[in-house]
Structure 1
Amino acid sequence: MPGGRLSHQDRLDIATGLTEGRGYAEIARDLDRPTSTISREVARNGGAHGYRADHAHYATVSRARRRKPAADDARADAAGADDQQPSGADRRRREYVERFAAMMVDGGLPRMVSRVLALLYTADSASLTAADLVRELRVSPASISKAIGYLEHVGMVHREPDPHRRLQHYVIAEEVWLKAWQVSARTNLNWAETATEGADLLGRDTPAGERLTQMADFFHRLGEDMSGGPAFEVIDDAFTLLAALLHAARPLTADQLATALGWPSARITDALANATKYAEYCDPVVLDQLDDTYRAIPNPARLTPAQLRALR
């Protein structure tokens, strides 16, 4: 009530207002308090740039203990404890937010980024301000700014201006997890391109080149799988080539394939390369090269040695 003792929540609201750059009078109106109450509270506890709600509250309780008898001290302590303790529902929600964030950390996201995203995702409101995030996560504005910058960069969060005040509201982007998936797919393809560049630079026949080539192949397949696989026209020519070899039932040279299919040599070369590169998409048939000829055979990895012996 007006003129009564400031509660812990009042002090949290004061800290939020100061973080948002609001004046003492505006904060006082929101709390239904005299402006002088707010100005004295801030001046006593570090000033506008050094005010900390928890510190201010504990300092006030400590001063009250020194001034009042023991009975009054006990009542003040109980009131302070009530202000500081969240409700059971709030406590469970905060615990869930931390578990949610921990899961994202295990998935590779930075810890503060994960905590901000988890809080945005579980908030009752459609958006949160920087001050909301500072208050809920109990961290510095700089930490929030850095985490928001990361989330904006990858397209998972965007900001919307407040229509009434000079504030920015942070909102989770639509299809946020699809965007995260796309970012991860692009990252894998970047790994593949960098590894390919290194293999070409060091020589693919060197030990380092072999390792980098294997790395490039792995991340290229992974990135394309996450992006939906290779383009249809790329893999379709490989399917057609394998079908031709199966129908011929004998090894053929690249020139023979070009003549039979009516394709230019470059298209045959690309189809042969893609049949090898995307072997997992052609399974259970694979391309086998014998000198300068090619044939389509069943993927031997599909069958165990005992199965192969039984079939022979």
Structure 2
Amino acid sequence: MDGLAQAVERLGQVLEDSGIPRMAARVFAYILAEDRDRYTAAELAEGLSVSPAAISGAVRYLTQTRLVVRERRPSGRGDLYRIVDGDVWGTITRARIPILDHYVASLDEAVALLDSDSRGRARLVETRDFFAFTRREMADLTERWEEYRARQR
């Protein structure tokens, strides 16, 4: 097994252990570790030695979770997949902030529906407060990351 394949398998396993579906984890690891900027589904399938059908579900997951960007090929035939340009993890983290906003808003609505003295309501309030806190911290974290990244260059 060559270095790229080993790196993809190791990172893919870590991503899978953190909750990303196996094939999506492998595809994301491949896109991170391989040198090209953009990939067709056929190139991903060939690079990972898997079927195109396996790639289809993986890239669907990765685009829905904003880990990978899908764009049209200039020829108009088929799609290309890539990670976001430049600051991959900062961009991914910033893309999660609106999701946390949605959690907080949904939890606010759910809290309003329950009796003020119910245990379930108390758990939802705690959950809402956690996501509100996490959202604020993520926004601060991305700003600190940008400053750190600028200093490293």
Would you say 1:204 and 2:141 are equivalent positions? no
Match of residue 148 from structure 2:
none
After superposition, the C-alpha distances for 1:280-304 in whole angstroms (9 at most, x for unaligned) are xxxxxxxxxxxxxxxxxxxxxxxxx
Name the counterpart of 1:159.
71
Matched, 1:218 2:108: no
Matches within 5 A, 1:1-312: 91-155=2-66, 156-161=68-73, 163=75, 166-174=77-85, 175-228=87-140
Q: For 1:130-166, what per-residue CA distance to the aligned partner results, in whole angstroms no more than 9, with x for missing partners?
A: 1111122233322212222232334432324155x94
Give the distance between the partners of 1:109 and 1:185, measured in 2 at CA. 19
Q: Which one-letter code corresponds to 1:149 in the other structure? A: R
2:70, 2:79 within 8 Å by CA — same for their partners in 1? no
How many residue pairs get aligned? The number is 139
Secondary structure at the aligned position of 2:134 is classed as helix
Unaligned runs of 5+ in 1: 1-89, 230-312
TM-score under structure 1 length normalisation: 0.40
Q: Which amino acid aligns with 1:133?
A: L
The higher radius of gyration belongs to 1
Contact 1:148–1:157 (CA under 8 A) maintained in structure 2: no
Separation (CA, whole Å) in 1 of partners of 2:21 and 2:98: 18
For the Cα contact (< 8 Å) 1:158–1:173, is it kept in 2? no
Displacement after TM superposition at 1:167 (Å): 4.6
Q: What code does the residue aligned with 2:129 have?
A: D
Distance (whole Å) between structure 2 residues aligned to residue 106 and residue 187 of structure 1: 22
Q: Distance in 2 between matches of 1:106 and 1:184?
A: 20
> CA 1:204/1:227 → structure 2, altered by over 3 Å: closer, same or farther?
farther
Q: Cα RMSD (Å) of the superposition?
A: 2.4
Measured in 2, the distance between the counterparts of 1:113 and 1:180 equals: 15
Partner of 1:257: none
**Structure 1 166/198 Cα, relative in aligned 2: closer, same or farther at 3 Å?**
closer
Q: Deviations over 1:201-244 (max 9, x none)?
A: 01232111111111111111111211238xxxxxxxxxxxxxxx
Unaligned residue ranges in structure 2 (runs of 5+): 142-153
In the alignment, which residue of structure 1 is the partner of 2:149? none
